[in-house]
Structure 1
Amino acid sequence: MRLALPLSVLLMLTPTASGVEPRPVLGDRPEIRAEPVLLDASNPSRRQVGALTYLGGLALTSPDPAFGGFSAMRVIRDRFTLLSDGGNIVDFRMGPDLQPRDVRFADLPGPGTGAIKRHRDSESLTWDPRTGRVWVGFENRNAIWRYDATLAHAERNVKPAAMADWSIAGGAEAMVRLRSGQFIVFSETARPTGLRDARIVLRFAGDPTETKSAPLRFAYVPPAGYDPTDAAELPDGRLMVLNRRLSLSGLFTAKLSLIDIRGVRPGGVVRGAEIASFERPLLHDNFEALAITQEGADTIVWIASDDNGQFWEQSLLLKFKFDGQAKSPLPVKGTG
């Protein structure tokens, strides 16, 4: 029998991960240890997984006990910012040698007092390359906050009415600011009426903390048994979506899908084209963070994992080149 429930739901069944425990906060001595990892330990020469070529990866650790739990990230040239689901920020520079340097730890301000974990349940992050502004999606509160480029100062926040009935464990799990200025927000678990295999997605015409118009609502169908955890825009305008599954047989596995939301109508349903699957014997963990960058003509895909503060999970940071031009299905009119 296979168990396929959102991790956030399973963790809420235990008192130590319910969100009412004290929030671990990073200290003032930033230190990262980075150990290279193989894509396939049983075949060290393997580099290919679906439409991706593995360029290298790291298992990140730190003497600081609050380190880890990464649910979102930003990559700008050689600057990496990892955001945990407890509002901890790990920032560093990293070049082709895949060794972090100039490490900085910080604490994300707001919402709430930050005394307990659910006050900083930050699950998604996106930014504007022109202004540097950053938007963070919070579960538990079903809110979106806007920050300055340094993530040190909160500017605005909103609890969108369209997200008000999302469960505390199904909030803004993935959020993308498109180059057009529109924002796409995925719920991890909220389902449209009559579409049990789909997840609700919102498209805001602009900055969600400022726009007065209601977002367009449509549905995304992830791979069977999986939930969306992050998304990023490709240079051609399609979205790459990271999907995760927790099962008794495979623990954490993940799949990457491509979707095309251009022209999607209210109530439309978008189905993805799978381009990579992470399961045995390949590296697989609680993959929650996704970023896309460019290196010359190459499209680079970064994936990071949330270790949930557990010894049997890892904080992985993996680098791939996107090789394929896999075609994702066009949106079709739905009833959600």
Structure 2
Amino acid sequence: MARRRPRYQAAMRFLLALAALPLLTTFAPYALYKEPVLPPQPKARLVPVPLDEGDPARRLGGLLFLGGWAIESNDPRFGGISAMHVEGDQVLALSDAGSLIHLALPATGPAQVAIRSLPDGPGSASSKFDRDVEAMTVHGGHAWLAFEGRNAIWRYNRGDWLSDAAFQPPAMRDWPGNDGGEAMLRLADGRFLVFSEGRRRADGSSEALLFDGDPAHADTTTFTLGYRAPEGYRITDAARLPDGRILYLNRRASILEGFSAKLTVGNGSDFEAGDILTGREIAHFKAPVTVDNFEALSVDLEDGRTVVWIASDDNFSALQRTLLLKFALAE
């Protein structure tokens, strides 16, 4: 019975979070947040979590589990992670309230964390609707952010985080405010893919755009594609593998199953207008495996192997957790 207790607690956390989710997603994007009371020094603590409380196995489909943490912080701006880029032990994350989170990963215990608001962006910095970042891709000294509520792509210098290019692509202007740009990646040849979370096409796929260059520039040509997630799932992030293929992170919320996610891999080249992108499943996250509201994905190289990082968006709710999981790709 003692072994079942963590699973029971996780199930209760999910049911409470799911009950609150409609309120969070309906009203949060439009709220004007008061200035939070900030601690003198932001702190973060990493609490190790297993892949499965009741099973010592460290393999999940095509992934080899390397470690996992639930991250806690005394700073109210920490959380809501919807986009992430990991290099070595340095995590750069963007929240869906427009906060930049820099986290240095230790082995265990306290971690160095720095949190600040984006100094530049669409609309008001105090409006979650204006600064709702759901996707990020990094290349060289620049980072591209997708603002879901504004259906806009902004390009930033990573040094000072000031923008040097921004555009609201006409093909994205009719994407629903809460189903806008959810995933974005840069292909090896410099083209970009941007995915809508929920805008449906006649064939049942969700809409995706292929930019023949920088999406933050008004003169970039755009082509419409489709993306077909696993049945019942929606895309929440995507990342390019070193071999050019694309990893897709897909999430589902169900009263019966709780949160679950599927990681799929697909072709990363030879796209044409009208194509429907899809992927082959390589990992399925569902209870009793550790899972939450997975929304952020990053790929890195470590000692010659491909490392996959996945993080969850806690919706700034005490009923959910910010999880950070680390895997080696082991197809």
TM-score, normalising length: structure 2: 0.89
Query: In the alignment, what sits opposite 2:125?
Result: 114
- For residue 73 of structure 1, report the CA deviation from its aligned partner: 0.6
1:91-110 equivalent positions in 2, closer than 5 A: 91-94=102-105, 97=107, 101-109=111-119, 110=121
- For residue 100 of structure 1, report the CA deviation from its aligned partner: 6.3
Which one of the candidate residues 195, 203, 206 is aligned to 1:195?
Answer: 203
Matched, 1:61 2:72: yes
- For residue 29 of structure 1, report the CA deviation from its aligned partner: 2.1
- For residue 67 of structure 1, report the CA deviation from its aligned partner: 1.5
- For residue 9 of structure 1, report the CA deviation from its aligned partner: 8.7
- The farther-off stretch of 97-106 and 82-91 is 97-106
CA RMSD, aligned part only? 2.3
User: Kindly tell me: are residues 237 and 136 of structure 1, through their superposed partners in 2, closer, same or farther at Cα, counting changes over 3 Å?
Assistant: same
Matched, 1:184 2:193: yes
What is the distance in 1 between the residues matched to 2:37 and 2:181? 24
Structure 2: gaps of 5 or more residues: 1-17
Structure 1: gaps of 5 or more residues: 1-5, 325-336
Stretches (4+) displaced over 6 A:
6-9
Matched, 1:204 2:201: no
What is the distance in 2 between the residues matched to 1:249 and 1:231? 26
- For residue 289 of structure 1, report the CA deviation from its aligned partner: 0.3
What is the distance in 1 between the residues matched to 2:275 and 2:29? 34
User: Kindly tell me: are residues 156 and 224 of structure 1, through their superposed partners in 2, closer, same or farther at Cα, counting changes over 3 Å?
Assistant: same
Matched, 1:140 2:149: yes
1:1-336 equivalent positions in 2, closer than 5 A: 10-11=22-23, 14-15=26-27, 17-22=28-33, 27=38, 29-43=41-55, 45-94=56-105, 97=107, 101-109=111-119, 110-129=121-140, 132-150=141-159, 152-192=161-201, 194-196=202-204, 198-210=205-217, 212-324=219-331
What is the distance in 1 between the residues matched to 2:187 and 2:37? 31
What is the distance in 2 between the residues matched to 1:113 and 1:93? 29
Deviations 1:244-270 (A, max 9, x none): 111111221100011114112211112
SS at match of 1:10: helix
What is the distance in 2 between the residues matched to 1:54 and 1:83? 24
CA contact (8 A) 2:194 2:209 kept: yes
Query: In the alignment, what sits opposite 1:334?
Result: none
User: Kindly tell me: are residues 11 and 258 of structure 1, through their superposed partners in 2, closer, same or farther at Cα, counting changes over 3 Å?
Assistant: farther
Which one-letter code corresponds to 1:106 in the other structure?
R
- For residue 111 of structure 1, report the CA deviation from its aligned partner: 1.6
Deviations 1:50-97 (A, max 9, x none): 1001000110011122211100011122221111000111102225x2
CA contact (8 A) 2:314 2:320 kept: yes
What is the distance in 2 between the residues matched to 1:13 and 1:241? 23
CA contact (8 A) 1:23 1:117 kept: no
What is the distance in 1 between the residues matched to 2:306 and 2:237? 17
What is the distance in 2 between the residues matched to 1:232 and 1:13? 25
SS at match of 2:263: strand
What is the distance in 1 between the residues matched to 2:35 and 2:186? 29
- For residue 179 of structure 1, report the CA deviation from its aligned partner: 2.4
Which one-letter code corresponds to 1:191 in the other structure?
R
User: Kindly tell me: are residues 99 and 242 of structure 1, through their superposed partners in 2, closer, same or farther at Cα, counting changes over 3 Å?
Assistant: farther
CA contact (8 A) 2:117 2:125 kept: no
- For residue 240 of structure 1, report the CA deviation from its aligned partner: 0.1
- For residue 211 of structure 1, report the CA deviation from its aligned partner: 5.3
Percent of paired sites with the same residue: 41
CA contact (8 A) 1:81 1:92 kept: yes
SS at match of 1:189: strand
User: Kindly tell me: are residues 302 and 20 of structure 1, through their superposed partners in 2, closer, same or farther at Cα, counting changes over 3 Å?
Assistant: same
User: Kindly tell me: are residues 191 and 81 of structure 1, through their superposed partners in 2, closer, same or farther at Cα, counting changes over 3 Å?
Assistant: same
What is the distance in 2 between the residues matched to 1:311 and 1:266? 43
Deviations 1:301-329 (A, max 9, x none): 000000001122100011000000xxxxx
CA contact (8 A) 2:68 2:326 kept: yes
What is the distance in 2 between the residues matched to 1:242 and 1:39? 17
- For residue 23 of structure 1, report the CA deviation from its aligned partner: 6.1
What is the distance in 1 between the residues matched to 2:306 and 2:136? 20
Deviations 1:81-131 (A, max 9, x none): 111000111102225x266643211111322122221121110111113xx
CA contact (8 A) 2:169 2:218 kept: no
